[in-house]
Amino acid sequence: MNLLIDVNVVIDICTQRKPHAEPSAIALEIAKLNHVRLWLYAGSTQTLEYNLYRHLRQENLEAGRPLTNAAVLANARRLLSEFVKDKQWLAALAAEGPVFDTQDPEDAQLIRAIERFPLGHIRLLTRDERLLTEYPDQTISPDAYCKLGQPDQRLDFIDLKTQQDAIRPALEQQIHRVLHHGHYILGPEVRELEARLAAYTGARHCITVASGTEALLISLMALGIGPGDEVITTPFTFVATAEVICLVGATPVFVDIEPDTCNLDARLIEAKLSPRTKAIMPVSLYGQPADLDAINAIAARHGLPVIEDAAQSFGATYKGRQSGNLSTLGCTSFFPSKPLGCYGDGGAIFTSDDALAQACREIRVHGQSQRYVHTRIGVGGRMDTLQCAIVLAKLDRFDHEIAQRQTVARRYHALLAPQEASRAKPPSRQADPPTQNSLCALAPLRETFQLLPWPQPDRTSVFAQYTLRVPDRAALQARLHAAGIPTAVHYPVPLNEQPAYAHLCCPDCTPVARQMAREVMSLPMHPDLSAADQDRIVTAITAVPI
Ligand SMILES: Cc1ncc(COP(=O)(O)O)c(C=O)c1O
């Protein structure tokens, strides 16, 4: 929910004008407690300043105070600077300019600004009787607002709005810069983002592409993988990972996952290699890198390239190195809900191999090596300039957000650990490959829930997801839903049990993936999740008998 604060309400509060100041101040306090976003219209700054100045000057005259006009103006600006500190600025758009043929241009601007939001998502907090009568659904008086009941207290699974609040000025500048220079395809922001991301990961090259899926597809094409080839991968991932292997005409060969990280189990890879194997594609699931040293060592022994699917782990580290730059090629996604997301589709490929980088650059523009010279088969796979500009605006806050995600995860862990089901720990990663005996540790849980182990000591996670194992998942999900807490399942069905892939590998061949798919459940996770909301989630989980 959002409130746009009209000038009269701001003046009431700043001047403590009786009797209006008190209900207005209370209305704003209630709104803040309910996490309502408070907006001021950027087109009203001069009106705010002029009206407050006029009011203060009148007050001084009436009180016989000998203040100069400059001192009164300085006072007005000080009060306004203080008032706007915790508010959002709603940009004035071009459509709100031509209002001089309306009865009240200022009011018309505010109503047009409100009409940008979906109906019912924002109201103008005002004392203006005409507006209140003419636009009853878009406006509300401070008195009426104080009498409203509790708003809907549903939590977001991922809150992108608070992030947007934090970066709004940079975001709007970036977007408008692109609108004004007009290089919508492969514009300067594309090159700037690629340079910054390459530097961030330490890879020599970053090639932005249309999505995470496209990044994986282009990587396979650059490696020349095609019909008759096999690619080793995990069945416990988003479908895109395996889909692109099929799209180039190759076959995904599913290898089971580790029970503690849910990532590809390197110990099981060699048994699945064949003369047709042309690459290994591990996924760094939930934000934690897969065991890339072990996987790279196997790949090196057999002369195979490794493509890390880092769609969920961009920003994480493995032995001090950045995810995305841990193998021959690394691919990430800027899908909006990813740790580093844009406002649409986007992705990137990382590599330090010059020839592969060149191939990826050509493939993303229809295999073109120079204008109208198509050296290879390619795709229309560019990331557009606007989406790159949006990622640039987010990049300055990214390290802070990663630290926040880790704090949130640590807090979930600390609060939930005392309540988790006790039972045998999953087999250690250093041990031999799982046997029927060690897999007993994966027998279905009879109790409430179990935490996935904290990330391995040699790596960090960006916690794209915070995921638990829950035996009676549907029941817990339903109860949390009733308490206004959304959950998600990543992923409910291993790929080798999906109709399109089931012929490739029997479900029993990947028992850990099968078990995890039955039990995993992800909790709300984002950098701006407050301690209070987290407490509410934990209480709802631990108070619920399953
Ligand atoms: C592991 C994994 N791989 C690939 C993708 C595909 O990324 P995109 O949605 O940007 O195509 C995703 C996105 O959900 C993902 O989580």
Q: Which distant-in-sequence residues (6+ apart) come within 8 Å of 447 by Cβ?
A: 421, 422, 423, 471, 546
pTM value is 0.92
CA–centroid distance, 341 to ligand 1, in Å, is 11
- Rounded to 5 degrees, what are φ and ψ at 279? -170, 160
- At 432, is the pLDDT very low, low, confident or very high (cuts 50, 70, 90)? low
CA–centroid distance, 464 to ligand 1, in Å, is 12
- At 149, is the pLDDT very low, low, confident or very high (cuts 50, 70, 90)? confident
Strand 37-41 to strand 329-333: parallel, antiparallel, or no bridges (unpaired)?
unpaired
Predicted local confidence at residue 442, as pLDDT: 52
CA–centroid distance, 147 to ligand 1, in Å, is 45
Residue range 6-37, pLDDT digits in tens: 999 999 999 998 899 999 999 999 999 998 99
Q: What is the number of alpha carbons within 13 Å of residue 458 lying toward its C-beta?
A: 11
Domain ranges of the chain: 2-152, 163-395, 399-542
In the structure, which protein residues have their CB atom closer than 6 angstroms to any atom of ligand 1? 211-213, 237-238, 240-241, 283, 309, 311-312, 333, 335, 345, 347
Cα 409 from Cα 415, distance rounded (Å): 10
Instruction: Name the residue at shortest CA distance from atom 7 of ligand 1.
Output: 212
Site to substitute for ligand 1 among 216, 238, 243, most atoms within 8 A of C-beta? 238
Using the CB atoms, write b or e for 469-500: b if 16+ within 10 Å: bbbbbeebbebbeebebbbbbbbebbbbbeee
Sheet holding 520-523, edge to edge: 450-451, 466-469, 520-523
Predicted local confidence at residue 422, as pLDDT: 58
Tell me what the mean pLDDT of segment 184-210 comes to: 98
Q: Give the DSSP H/E element, type plus range, for residue 230.
A: strand 230-233
Residue range 44-53, pLDDT digits in tens: 999 999 999 9
Cα 404 from Cα 534, distance rounded (Å): 13
Q: Would you give the DSSP letter of residue 457?
A: T
Site to substitute for ligand 1 among 239, 333, 364, most atoms within 8 A of C-beta? 333
- At 150, is the pLDDT very low, low, confident or very high (cuts 50, 70, 90)? confident
Give me 535's structure tokens. 């407490």
Predicted local confidence at residue 175, as pLDDT: 98
By three-state DSSP, how is residue 449 classified?
coil
Cα 150 from Cα 146, distance rounded (Å): 10
Instruction: Name the residue at shortest CA distance from atom 10 of ligand 1.
Output: 212
CATH architecture for the domain at 399-542: Alpha-Beta Complex (3.90)
Give me 449's structure tokens. 């829930």
Q: Give the DSSP H/E element, type plus range, for residue 330.
A: strand 329-333
Q: What is the DSSP string of 340-409?
A: S--SS--EEEEES-HHHHHHHHHHHBTTEEETTEE-S---B-PPPHHHHHHHHHHHTTHHHHHHHHHHHH
Nearest ligand 1 atom to the CA of 215 is 11
| pLDDT value at 444 more than 90 | no
163-395: which CATH topology?
Answer: Aspartate Aminotransferase; domain 2 (3.40.640)
- Amino acid, single-letter form, for residue 260: D
Picking from 18-32, 404-418, 441-455, 460-474, which range would have the lowest pLDDT averaged per residue?
441-455
Residue range 342-370, pLDDT digits in tens: 999 999 999 999 999 999 999 999 999 99
CA–centroid distance, 212 to ligand 1, in Å, is 5
Residue range 52-96, pLDDT digits in tens: 999 999 999 999 988 899 999 999 999 999 999 999 999 999 999
| 425 close to 443: Cβ distance less than 8 angstroms | no
Predicted local confidence at residue 339, as pLDDT: 98
Tell me what the mean pLDDT of segment 277-296 comes to: 98
| pLDDT value at 174 more than 50 | yes
Q: What is the number of alpha carbons within 13 Å of residue 338 lying toward its C-beta?
A: 30
| 292 close to 252: Cβ distance less than 8 angstroms | no
Domain 2-152 in CATH 3.10.20.30? The answer is no
CA–centroid distance, 213 to ligand 1, in Å, is 6
Tell me what the mean pLDDT of segment 454-469 comes to: 96
**Mean pLDDT across the chain:** 93
Instruction: Name the residue at shortest CA distance from atom 14 of ligand 1.
Output: 238
Q: C-alpha distances in angstroms, 107 versus 113, 119, 301?
A: 10, 18, 72
